[in-house]
Amino acid sequence: MGKNNNTEILAEVEISASIMCIDWLHAARQLKILEKQNIDYLHWDVIDGRFAPDFTMGSSIINKFRESSNMQSDYHLMVEEPSSIFNSFSTTHGDIFTIHQECCRNLHRNLVDIRRKGARVGVALNPGTSLEVLDYIIEDIDVILVMSVNPGFMGQELVPQTIGKIEKIKERINDLKLDVKISVDGNVNYENIPKMVSAGADILVGGSSGLFRNDLELEDSIKRLRECIQEGVENR
């Protein structure tokens, strides 16, 4: 791929660091490493305990955290009626807000509200969610987040049908000649990354299985993750 391997790979496949999985005792240091290593986004899982099990950070903590970083944010809202909290979050141009169709009484209206904030809009598809959800909105969104596990807890195994789902979505995007990115979240590990990227993933959400690992320093896990991305890009 030429002399600037990392730069060229990142231009094709972006990395979103799941802050849910960060080492909270060393969060400031790890955040600096993410910036230095040119990680593309900070991924914020916002869970209300109703749509998905578990609870995570609220907007006040996230906004405070963002003050110490210039990185773009990738918000994944796993909450019922997400429109009620859109304005709680700090937003900069290029940030992503992703919501679930199952959470909204009016999905299209929610997407319009996010766009008005100046953010990019995304729709998340759970493993059991049909691609028909995209029929009337795919031309109005910037990102499709494919959940390769069911929303909620860390450490789940990949739902195998996810890879075929990514391929079908990529084919549809290409047929319609749209500028829509496919993001993948869930068990993004070194075995699955090449398959995800080869199938068409544009953004990978790195969590406990690929980025914030207990057995590797963060710099080393980033290097390994990028090697796996390169393998997937070469097999496209």
Element (H, E) at 76: strand 72-78
- Which residue among the candidates 40, 48, 142, 185 is catalytic per the annotation? 185
Does 40 qualify as catalytic in the annotation? Answer: no
Say how many CA atoms lie within 13 Å of 200 toward its Cβ: 20
Please tell me the distance from the alpha carbon of residue 80 to that of residue 220, in angstroms, as a whole number.
Answer: 37
Does 185 qualify as catalytic in the annotation? Answer: yes
Place of tokens 């994944």: 76
- Which residue among the candidates 40, 45, 95, 142 is catalytic per the annotation? 45
Please tell me the distance from the alpha carbon of residue 203 to that of residue 15, in angstroms, as a whole number.
Answer: 6
In one-letter notation, the amino acid at residue 101 is: Q
Please tell me the distance from the alpha carbon of residue 15 to that of residue 195, in angstroms, as a whole number.
Answer: 16
CA angle 68, 69, 70 (to 5 degrees): 140
Please tell me the distance from the alpha carbon of residue 95 to that of residue 178, in angstroms, as a whole number.
Answer: 19
Handedness of CA 128, 164, 125, 224 (dihedral sign): positive
Show which residues are catalytic.
45, 185
